[in-house]
Amino acid sequence: MPWVTAIIAVIALAVTIGSYYVNPIIRTHIESAMNRSLVGYQTRLRSAHLRFLDGALFLEDLDVVQVAHPKPAVILIPKLRISIQWRELFSGRIVANCLIADPTLSINLAQLKSEKAKKTTLKQEGWQQALTSIYPFKINRFQIENGTVTYIDADPTRPIKLKRLEFTADNIRNIHEANHPYPSTIHVDTVVFDTGHASLDGRANFLAEPVPSLLTGYSIEQVPLAPFDSAIKRVNLRVSRGVVSSNGVLEYSPQIKRAEVEDLKIEGIHLTYVHSPQTAPAEAERMTEVKNDAKEVNNKPGLLLRLKQLRLVNSELTYANEDSDHRYNLFFSKLNAQVTNLSNQSSEGVSHVNLTGDFMGNGATKLLGTFRPSKQGPDFDLNLDVQAASLPSLNDLLKAYGRFDVESGNVSVYSQTTVRQGEISGYVKTLFSDVKVYDYKKDKDKPVLHQAYELLVGGAAKLLRNGSTKNVATEVNLKGKLSNPTASTWEALKELLYNAFIDAIEPGFNREIGQVPDAKQNSIVHRPPPSAKVK
């Protein structure tokens, strides 16, 4: 009937016109309600439109700023739509869909520090209340399309950035599969630093108490590592080059927390640890934190951390000592390593390390190790083999500690070591060959006393040299307690490698001028820290 159609058209027109008068009131109400809910943040909303015919709410240009640091805005949402999820009416529930299009999440170092200083939870900050204040019905499906996440550390020209972020969470209210431990489905997909890719596919229980729970698989593909350089400088690390790929399973619930990495591949990374007197106190504090954290997580019930396979491919690791009195670099290049079955639970069995590379660019190195999780401290076995590393490549080290350099020569290091229950046993054997300390052409401009000193060092090497092999050999048996029996495994490894390399390469024969070393002498592992002066 024409008149029925006309009446419907008039009603629709009246509702549409009426909504434009109501929209400013809705906008003001939503903005005020969100600001009342949020702690430490403020919102600005340009426009809101409620479509009366189907109850859909459209918001445009919703901005959220941190009160302490308002620039840049933390959240920019060009478009947000919330509407009734009509299909769930058949289940007797009135719930909503929420779609956020093209949002931008940005945070810088100052904002992050301010957030950390507040020591409040997300729930206390009122984010959930702010979202629910927008719409009267609870959200059952939440979706983000084409999002961007940016973190700016100390260097604004090198942001950490995710693009084309897609996020979907469905059945948030547990309407379906209510008895399933993880009734909701989740999906995340994003581009990392333009060339990498990351995704999550799994399930969740957003209504779990006391916190939401999650079980999901993850995948990371060819994510470049150089953009992290700015963020990790504060922990004395420098990174250039390299990509990382990984996959595994993450689970977080009141009953169990686990992170099981099936495969972690790091390829072509150049990673440098920088030590300096200025950062030494912070380094010591971090080491204490690492040790305490290791104690807390080792064999902790309900917590499983497991790395099934780590592969390090064609990489370079460097230790840079920037102490002005002991300035030198030690590095491994062409590094390839495989670590298997690394875990915080002793019930998962032992882990193994197999590493090869070149020490100082030419000393062929092999490292085999077995590690066992233990509450009593470090527990591992190591076999180390360094073949014919160039001594001239270590001249900075020799000048720093021995106050001389060499013209030519090689050093090899062999070590077998066991650490268990605070005790260490094993040996470090050092072999020097073709050592030439003093060269008149190279050293003629040095002070006369320094030239004489180098002649004495070279003479000592000749006295210790085996007549048939032309080599200098020393061997030190390691037996006794660690200098710090409560050390973490990382601390014990650092101390052991420092003994194996620094003690051996300083070199050993220089320390033994005037007495031929006894191959069977015992030594408790105890060395001055790298920053200490050796007289």
Reported as a single tens digit per residue, the pLDDT across 373-407 is 766 667 788 898 999 899 889 888 877 776 667 78
Q: Phi-psi category of 77—alpha, beta or left, where left has phi over 0 and alpha has psi -120 to 50?
A: beta
In a domain, 209, yes or no: yes
Which tens digit of pLDDT belongs to each residue from 415-446? 888 888 777 788 888 887 887 765 544 554 55
pLDDT range class, residue 142, cuts 50, 70, 90: very high
Beta carbons within 8 Å of 512's beta carbon, 6+ residues apart: 460, 464, 474
Greater model confidence, 110 or 436 = 110
> According to the model, what pLDDT value does residue 379 have?
79
Contacts of 455 (CB under 8 A, 6+ apart): 437, 438
Judged on CB neighbours under 10 Å (0-12, 13-18, 19+), 404 is: buried
Query: Is 200 contained in some domain?
Result: yes
**Local structure of 378: helix, strand or coil:** coil
pLDDT tens track for 285-341:
887 777 777 777 877 888 899 999 999 999 999 999 888 777 888 899 999 999 999
Residue 271 has pLDDT above 60, yes or no: yes
pLDDT in tens, 172-212: 999 998 889 999 999 999 999 999 999 999 999 998 888 88
Stretch 473-502: mean pLDDT: 57
Up-side HSE of residue 54: CA atoms within 13 Å toward CB?
A: 11
First to last CA, the chain: 107
On whether the CB atoms of residues 306 and 348 are closer than 8 A, the answer is: yes
Q: For 331-352, what is the mean pLDDT?
A: 90
Q: Please count the structural domains in the chain.
A: 1
Helix residue spans in 157-298 (DSSP H): 229-232, 280-297
Confidence at 472, pLDDT banded by 50, 70, 90: low
**Residues in CB range of 491: below 8 A, 6 or more apart:** 287, 290, 291, 378, 484
Give the residues across from 340 on adjacent strands.
Answer: 309, 352
Specify if 52 maps to a domain.
yes
What pLDDT does 510 receive? 41
Backbone angles phi, psi at 229, to 5 degrees: -55, -45
pLDDT of 104 over the 80 cut: yes
3-state SS class at 39: coil
Domain that holds residue 198: 26-224
Please check whether residue 316 lies inside any domain of the structure: no
Is it the case that residue 29 has pLDDT exceeding 80? yes
Q: Is residue 139 part of a domain?
A: yes
The confidence score (pLDDT) of residue 127 equals: 77
Q: What is the pLDDT of residue 118?
A: 74
Predicted local confidence at residue 296, as pLDDT = 78
Q: How far apart are CA 397 and CA 327, in angstroms?
A: 7
444-453, 473-482, 511-520, range with greatest mean pLDDT? 473-482
Q: Are residues 478 and 427 in contact, defined by beta-carbon separation less than 8 angstroms?
A: yes
Residue 82: which H helix or E strand, with range?
strand 75-84
**Percentage with pLDDT > 70 across the chain:** 75
444: Cβ–Cβ under 8 A, 6 or more apart, which residues? 451
| Phi-psi region at 72: left, alpha or beta (left = phi > 0; alpha = psi -120 to 50) | beta
Say if residues 450 and 402 touch (Cβ distance below 8 Å): no
Q: How does residue 266 score in pLDDT terms, banded at 50, 70 and 90?
A: very high
Query: If pLDDT is split at 50, 70 and 90, which confidence band does 508 have?
Result: very low
Residue 300 within any structural domain of the chain: no
Tell whether 434 is covered by a domain.
no
pLDDT of amino acid 192: 95
Query: What's the CA gap between 387 and 419, in Å, rounded?
Result: 24
Cα separations in angstroms, 259 against 13, 172, 294, 323: 57, 23, 15, 38
Q: Is residue 72 part of a domain?
A: yes
